[in-house]
Every structure is written in structure tokens, then in C-alpha cells.
């Protein structure tokens, strides 16, 4: 019985020396906390995947001309943050009750190119309409900053799981929440750029509709904010498992006083 007590006292002395030497010890994650962090990280990964998918595709908005009588081909266009595509579609492939050309997913002849304002600084012209390059560039830059913040948040969570500590959860939650907000800001700036394009010239009648890349971006922003909120809750020490435990504690403390 003497040897176990000796080793126990020795371990306590070493822990006390570490505490005095390094100040407050870092709180080590339990298996339950680690599992919750991994689950929240999976949610954040889904948001990051949707963001990368949205930013990397050019199906943010579709511009559709009206079908003309006795013509076999109609024209449409779609673009995203980086490039735009003209498409020539066969009228026979389009639904009869649809008055405009599209959707852009239909098979046809496509001609895609990157926006020139990223290289030469020139505005793009789509169906005689002119883009507002400042708005388009701002939306693209905001999306890149959002992806950078996601990478920093992922790095914090990876280090927290590998080192078994929780103090990195708060900066990770801030990174993810801000990145989700920036994705939504990017969407709003892009919406203004589309409105500018549509109203710049009305010679050719057009209809426009937002496509699936925008849906991915909206879902990504919401999921990233939710994931960041989960990390904030996980970083709060001694958080009750049930929300109404706060009320019970408040009533018991008031009754004793």
C-alpha cells in the first residue's frame, strides 16, 4: 500500500510544480467533448464544401432571351464570380410553356471566358449590357477572404483536437461565424451587381434568375454561422446540459437568500 501512495503523491507534486511554473493549466478535453467538437466540425466542413462549390462555379445567375418565332436556336448566358458563358440552345429542348431561353443546364453550344476586369480592368458586355466591375471584384474578394477565414478556423479546430485543449474553440468559432457572414455579404454585393447589369441597357429584353450556385452559397453561410455558434457553446465551461437548469439554479439561489 505504500508504493501506490508514493507514486500518487509524486504525481500530485509534479502537477503542482507545473501549475506554479506555467500558471493556469490548460483544460484537457474529455472523450465526450472531443466527440461533440468533431460533430460540430463536420457541420462546418459541410459549410466549407458548399462555399468552395459555389465560389468555383459560374451558375450564380442566368440571363435568358425570349424565344423568337420560327427560329430553331435561342441565346442564353450564365455567370458567377469569375467567368461567364454564352449558350446557344435548341428551342425544341425547351419547354413549350416557357417564354424565355433556358435553363442553362440544357445541352447546347457554350462559349465561356473569364471576366477581363481581373486582368485588363475592362468591364464585360453581356447582351449589350455592361457590368459594374467594382461590385463584381468586391464580391470575388469577399468570397476569397471568407475561404481564408474558414481555413484558419479549420486549423484551430485541428490543433484543438490534436493537442486535446479547448482554448482554441473560441477563435475558431469567431473565424467560422465571420466567414459565414462574409458569404452572405458576398451574395448581397453580387445581387447589386446583377441589378446594375440588368438596368444598364434594356435594348434586348431579358429575364434573369438566380441559379443553384447561389442556393449553395446561402446554405453555406447559414451552416457556417450555425457551426461557429456550436463551437461557442462548446467553449463555455460547465454549460448545463438542459437550458432550464439556469432557471432552476436561479430560483434555488433566490429562495435561499
pLDDT digits (tens, 9 = 90+) for 100-158: 888 888 888 889 999 988 888 889 888 889 999 999 999 999 999 999 999 999 999 99
- What pLDDT, on the 0 to 100 scale, is given for residue 2? 44
- What pLDDT, on the 0 to 100 scale, is given for residue 224? 96
105 within some domain:
no
All cell numbers assigned to 203 = 435594348
d(CA 79, CA 164): 44
Nearest one of 141, 117, 120 to 131, comparing CA atoms:
117
| Residue 215 pLDDT greater than 90, yes or no | yes
| Residue 22 pLDDT greater than 60, yes or no | no
23 within some domain:
no
**Beta strands 83-90; 206-210: pairing state:** unpaired
113 within some domain:
no
pLDDT digits (tens, 9 = 90+) for 83-96: 999 999 988 888 88
- CA geometry: angle 238, 232, 140, nearest 5 deg: 175
- What pLDDT, on the 0 to 100 scale, is given for residue 9? 52
45 within some domain:
yes
What's the whole-model pTM score?
0.78
| Residue 67 pLDDT greater than 80, yes or no | yes
Residue 86 vs residue 22, higher pLDDT: 86
- What pLDDT, on the 0 to 100 scale, is given for residue 97? 84
pLDDT digits (tens, 9 = 90+) for 28-45: 777 888 888 899 999 999
168 within some domain:
yes
| Residue 241 pLDDT greater than 90, yes or no | no
2 within some domain:
no
- What pLDDT, on the 0 to 100 scale, is given for residue 21? 42
Domains of the chain: total: 1
| Residue 7 pLDDT greater than 70, yes or no | no
- What pLDDT, on the 0 to 100 scale, is given for residue 250? 53
161 within some domain:
yes
Q: Which residues form the domain of 227?
A: 28-60+123-236
d(CA 196, CA 211): 18
What's the CATH code of the domain at 192? 1.20.140.150
Amino acid at each position: 500500500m505504500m508504493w501506490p501512495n508514493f507514486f500518487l503523491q509524486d504525481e500530485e507534486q509534479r502537477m503542482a510544480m507545473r501549475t506554479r511554473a506555467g500558471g493556469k493549466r490548460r483544460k484537457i478535453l474529455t472523450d465526450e467533448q472531443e466527440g461533440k467538437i468533431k460533430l460540430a466540425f463536420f457541420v462546418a466542413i459541410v459549410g466549407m464544401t458548399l462555399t468552395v462549390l459555389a465560389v468555383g462555379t459560374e451558375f450564380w445567375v442566368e440571363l435568358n432571351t425570349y424565344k423568337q418565332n420560327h427560329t430553331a436556336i435561342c441565346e442564353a448566358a450564365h455567370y458567377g464570380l469569375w467567368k461567364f458563358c454564352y449558350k446557344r440552345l435548341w428551342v425544341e429542348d425547351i419547354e413549350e410553356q416557357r417564354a424565355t431561353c433556358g435553363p442553362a443546364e440544357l445541352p447546347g453550344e457554350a462559349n465561356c471566358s473569364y471576366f477581363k476586369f481581373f486582368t485588363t480592368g475592362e468591364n464585360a458586355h453581356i447582351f449589350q449590357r455592361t457590368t459594374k466591375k467594382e461590385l463584381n471584384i468586391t464580391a470575388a474578394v469577399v468570397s476569397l477572404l471568407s475561404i481564408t477565414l474558414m481555413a484558419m478556423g479549420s486549423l484551430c479546430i485541428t490543433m484543438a483536437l490534436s493537442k486535446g485543449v479547448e482554448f482554441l474553440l473560441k477563435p475558431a468559432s469567431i473565424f467560422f461565424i465571420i466567414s459565414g457572414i462574409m458569404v452572405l455579404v458576398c451574395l448581397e454585393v453580387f445581387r447589386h451587381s446583377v441589378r446594375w447589369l440588368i438596368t444598364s441597357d434594356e435594348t434586348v429584353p431579358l429575364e434573369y434568375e438566380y441559379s443553384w450556385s447561389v442556393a449553395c452559397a446561402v446554405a453555406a453561410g447559414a451552416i457556417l454561422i450555425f457551426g461557429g455558434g456550436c463551437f461557442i457553446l462548446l467553449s463555455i465551461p460547465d454549460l448545463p446540459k438542459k437550458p432550464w437548469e439556469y432557471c432552476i439554479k436561479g430560483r434555488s439561489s433566490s429562495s435561499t437568500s
